[in-house]
A and B are shown apart, each in its own frame.
Chain A
Amino acid sequence: MQRTQISAWLGVAPAWFVIGIFGVLPMLIMLGISFMVADPYGGVEPAYSHEAYIQFLFERDLDDSLIFNPIYLNIVLRSVGLAAITTALCLIVGLPVAYFIARQPESRRDVLILLITIPFWTNLLIRTYAWILILTRNGVVDARLQSVGFEAGTFDLLYTNTAVLIGLVYSYLPFMVLPLYASLEKMDFRLAEAASDLYANRWRVAWEVILPLAKPGIVAGCLLVFVPSIGAFIAPDLLGGGKRMMLGSLIYFQFATARNWPFGAAVSILLMAFVMLALLVYARVNKGQGLPAGGH
């Protein structure tokens, strides 16, 4: 009896080990650093301070009194807003794509899914640079337009908000399509047919049958897109021109240029706490409804 318990424990030990080393430990280090004192030349001094968390909302006046400072809050709100828009766009584009793939014959489905994953074979930085070449003045598109008589700079989207959104949606779309496909693929399409037989029009079928069945995939996809989008900084920096800081670039700036590791760590921890809170709220809200599909 005891022996089976021990071997069961040993069986899961590697999993705990991996989670501990690669998941929990780095986070604990970040948490520790966020409560230390910044070394002026980078790194930290081993002394306790919660100044980093105060700095997030307040700034110290000459007489040491605290004044509310919305700079960092602005950056957080901008990042959250951008992530929300990215998620919505990914959902709007990704849902029809996933649906289309799920309705294909099985052999073709595998090929299409493979195509969706192909971008991952190359580094994101390189793919984003490719977008610079596409979106810039005299770039791939602009040059073609010029060759048919348009003026130079007719198509010049680089360093605009549109460019940032294109870059983000492009980067994270596969994270939306794959979970959507996973739940649509399992779906029993006879249910949709049955709804049609019962005189539901197309919109009603989509809204009342397909969407509820796809819900787990929608939720998973939205989380997988929203969470990394909040911290994204490659697309905002390279395609947006870096005129406005995002959370990711703020954290990077604190570690690399400002040499304020505790503050950088504190912002990361706050970001993580925010994401966790969002997940908890989501879990709470969903609890009463039971599992929509695949739960039987």
Chain B
Amino acid sequence: MKTLLLALVAATALSGAAQAEGQLNIYNWVEYTSPEMLAKFEKETGIKVTVDTYDTNETLLAKLKAGGTGYDVVVPSQHFVEILIKEGLLQETGAGGMSTYANVDQRWQKPVWDPEAKYCAPWQWGTASIAYRKDLYGKEMTSLKEFFEPEEALKGKVQVFKSPDEVYNLANIYLNKPFCSENAEDAKAVQGLFEAQKPAVVTYNSENQNDNLANGTSIVANNWNGFTMRARMDSKTDIAYAFPKEGVVGWFDSACVPAGAQNADNAKKFLEFIMKPENIALQSNYARYSNAIVGADKFLDKDLASAPEMNVPEGVPVKFGQACSPEAQKLIDKVWTKLLQ
């Protein structure tokens, strides 16, 4: 027993020592880091990678604020990149000056949330819109009106996201209101839309949309493009992803380096690494989301490259969520709490 304990203590001490050199600690969303890509990175650089996971941007923010995390790379969404920069929780990496930055698609270079590309490298991006059972719905969904003001046949068959973030912005797009409005009249309009939609809603839920679509509990459901593709391929039923003419909500995750990261140099190597087409393609093939690197297409799985969910049709705007001011956020929370009171 004693020897076992000693061995344990020794092992812990050793692993502690190993962390100081040749180590990279990634903190990323659940099931969102390609093991194949990591293996390639480890082989090319000799750096040992560990991955921890979180499930919301808020968790990431709370962890970084608490400090002492030991993480070297984190993957926040676009509006949280803004927040993390403002809070001084990220360090400059000079991503825009890296040798591989030229691979980044022109439209994603120097995005509004990191306007000089001083901090982050693009990871994956996608859209949030509506998935629906084409066979049961009987037609193509072309407008957000069909989701927010559903016809009688959809009564009790509409599934809406559990938290307001994306669906509130979809409502803004439909009503042609600005994101993060601090105007109470705008919030009232959105609230009216949600209240009128509620009788048709079967559940506010961001987890079971694929199962619910497959078994007919819902016919239309808020969903993300990558998640919908999985549903379409797994299910025997006819599930489609809508690109309404008014537009869809976009999300864009980036790889960034927290302030005070112990292995910042290794983290920069990693950022450089993921902007190579053949590397980020491994990630896309694993998580099944789009990336922002030109030339990655030819390394993608065939079904992924041609997936209708991945290719936003010409003329459909993609609008990215922003970090709202406290006043605007308060209005959103009020609308949502009133809706579910």
Contact = CB atoms under 8 A, between A and B. Distances in A.
A27 B13 CA distance: 35
B217 interface: yes
A296 interface: no
A245 B340 contact: yes
Contacts of A256: 56, 58-59, 163
Interface of B is mostly: helix
Interface in A6-63: 38, 40-43
A277 to B, nearest CB: 24
Interface stretch (B1-9, B140-148, B199-207, B294-302): B199-207
Most buried by B among A41, A43, A152, A257: A41
B341 interface: yes
A239 to B, nearest CB: 10
Contacts, number: 82
Which of A42, A132, A138, A153 counts the most chain B CB atoms within 10 A?
A42
Contacts of B83: 41
B339 to A, nearest CB: 9
Nearest to A159: B203
Interface in B187-237: 198, 201-205, 208, 211-212, 215-217
B333 A257 contact: yes
B203 A138 contact: no
A132 B207 CA distance: 12
A87 interface: no
Interface residues of B, number: 35
B325 interface: yes
Interface residues of A, number: 33
A158 B333 contact: no
A104 interface: no
A40 B163 contact: no
A106 to B, nearest CB: 36
B34 interface: no
Nearest to B89: A41
A245 B216 contact: no
Kindly name the residue among A38, A156, A242 whose own CB sees the greatest number of chain B CB atoms within 10 A: A242
Interface of B: 56, 58-59, 61-62, 65, 83, 86-87, 162-165, 198, 201-205, 208, 211-212, 215-217, 323, 325-326, 329, 333, 336-338, 340-341
Interface of A: 38, 40-43, 71-72, 74-75, 132, 136-139, 152-153, 156, 158-159, 237, 241-245, 250, 253, 255-260
